[in-house]
Structure 1
Amino acid sequence: MTLLVPAVVFAVLYVVSRRRDARRLRNGVFLVGALGSLLLAGVLELAAASALLQLLVLAGVGLAGVLVLVLAGFLVGNGVTMLRREGRSLGNLLSLIAGLALLVLPAAALALIFVPAGTELPAGVVTVSIALGVLIVFACLYAAGTFAAFGFYSLVYSRYRHTRTPDALVVLGSGLVRGEVPPLLRSRLDRALAIYRSVPEGTTRPLLVPSGGQGADEPRPEGVAMAEYLLSQGADPSDVHPETASTSTRENLVLSREVQRAAGREGSTLVVTNDYHVLRAALLARAAGSDAQVVGSPTAAYYVPSAFLREYVAIMVEHRRLNAVAVASLVGFVALLTAASLAPL
């Protein structure tokens, strides 16, 4: 039960870090570390209890492998759906690529590790092949671990209940369709309206800041179309102050703060986006020096896998230096072991 010690340590780190600021990606690392250590401790305890429980553990491992195959098939199917409904783009291909990677990379790693050992290839070639297989395994585990930390904590953070009435509601833009608000963006606006209308009578309603500039393929700024929708749903014109110059989420947050300042509403801010985008928006708000928290709105089920993968890739790119150090450490570790095994005794 020694693995309970890291589980407790990770749990304490998670609670402390979460209380200091819920908008930290490391909260997800601590949470997954605690749950993973607890799960592994439980599995090892069961395996040591009896032969029957050992068989159950092996069956669980086999079931996990089957679930990976099921997940791969689901992602491939979702990728095909995304291409049909949303068109061809790299973002829409992500779930298809992830599904194929789940099928190909484990098979490649197993082939590199076990196949050369049964051949008459030189010992050095066999060693290098095994090293490459191990490196693929480590890379897969790193990707799985970081995605689990991001994905699981995204779900946890998106369920966070913000009970304080905000002074301003910033609604992040997400693109127009023929100049009009599409369903994805409408869900964000409807969530903001629900919060706006929930303010008790006699209390100042929050400022509504629909935020988004004009893309190259858009006939007008997103903020203008979003403001039009809010007004059509009964929002008070004096409460709607669109931001129409931003071209990214970071600019959404920074320029919307300037709109709040100009309107004299620099108090607490609540940012509204879709569920899949909540954690990254919160990380960007923190990086921009804003104390804003973020809430999410529903997203079409078929769109969620690709959307989460896009957010994960974006976060990994934003933390590319840290990831480069981690990957380089893995490569260096495997290379060192390989060199040691190839060195003459």
Structure 2
Amino acid sequence: MKRLILLLPAAGLIWYLWPGSVGIWNIGNFLGIGLCVFLLLWGGFAPLLKRRAETAGHLKTYRTGARILSGLLTAGFLWAGILTVQMILAANRTPPKSIPAIVLGSQVRGDEPSLDLWARIGAAERYLKENPKAMCVASGGQGEGENRSEAEVIREKLVGRGISADRILLEDRSESTEENIRYSKELLEKHSLGSHAAIVTDEYHQLRASWLAKRQGLTPYAVSAESPRNILSAMYTRELLALTATLAWG
């Protein structure tokens, strides 16, 4: 049983280190690495700490602290589970035929899309080819380390895959998911494209995108890109934090 308890955080540590092999380091995998290391240390040293507490006459204090720690970890994992179920449901909300798509930007490295942006471009391509009358908003500004805006790169790659440039509207001002949605909505209104939108983004990102879209008066549906498995741990955990922050502070 003890080996199993140690095996789980050890496997988790490998999972959270994996994104680093492709240069992905963010608060998501830092938090996951820290948690797994803590659990490994706690699993390995808890018996020793308990014996020392008992010898020093502080066993009651030790047990109280252990219960509090266990409760916090349980609450955290339960909260993550609740959000994960909601993320899965949001990622599977199939859009009606031919409604406009909003492709949310992600990091561009120089002139080339990052792994998750490639996934979103691929999902947008499939949707637009399956719905030849649908328009598309390529959304995303130019950030640090990007030679061009994310929107321009999205449009270029879609055109290179056979999507007519006439079907792609450019939103190149945004610097966050909230701005992606808000500025894209302005384009939909300007071109009389209605208030229904197929949001093209990673599965884990669909829930927060749908919340933000509803705040802007849009009716969102999901065109979900399959997140690259080698970066999923970092991006998923970061999204759990972003969802919690959105609920807490709006």
Bin of the TM-score, shorter chain as denominator length: 0.7 to 0.9
Is 1:103 aligned to 2:36, yes or no?
no
- Structure 2 unaligned spans of 5+: none
Alignment of 1:96-135 (within 5 A): 96-105=33-42, 114-115=50-51, 118-121=54-57, 125-135=58-68
Residue matched to 1:85: 22
Letter in 1 for 2:10: G
Residues 92 and 207 of structure 1, relative CA distance in 2, 3 Å threshold: same
Contact 1:72–1:103 (CA<8 Å) still a contact in 2? yes
Q: In structure 2, which of residues 121, 146, 157 is the aligned counterpart of residue 189 of structure 1?
A: 121
Q: TM-score, normalization: structure 1?
A: 0.65
1:239-291 CA-partner distances (Å, limit 9, x unpaired): 11011000011111111001111112124101010122222222332344322
Of 234-243 and 81-90, more deviation after overlay is shown by: 81-90
* Pairwise CA distance, 1:110: 6.9
Of 127-136 and 80-89, more deviation after overlay is shown by: 80-89
- Structure 1 unaligned spans of 5+: 1-61, 323-345
* Greater fraction of residues in strand: 2
Letter in 1 for 2:174: S
Alpha-carbon separation, structure 1, partners of 2:133 and 2:130: 9
Alpha-carbon separation, structure 2, partners of 1:155 and 1:81: 23
Structure number, greater radius of gyration: 1
Alpha-carbon separation, structure 2, partners of 1:66 and 1:88: 29
Letter in 2 for 1:169: A
* Greater fraction of residues in helix: 1
Q: TM-score, normalization: structure 2?
A: 0.87
* Pairwise CA distance, 1:67: 5.0
How much identity, in percent, do the aligned residues show? 22
Task: Work out which structure has the larger RCO, using CA pairs closer than 8 Å and 6 or more positions apart in sequence.
Answer: 2
Contact 2:28–2:236 (CA<8 Å) still a contact in 1? no
Residue matched to 1:340: none
> Aligned pairs, how many?
250
Residue matched to 1:314: 242
Letter in 2 for 1:184: D
Alpha-carbon separation, structure 2, partners of 1:321 and 1:305: 24
Alignment of 1:1-345 (within 5 A): 62=1, 68-86=5-23, 88-105=25-42, 114-115=50-51, 118-121=54-57, 125-158=58-91, 160-199=92-131, 205-320=133-248
Contact 1:211–1:252 (CA<8 Å) still a contact in 2? yes
* Pairwise CA distance, 1:87: 5.1
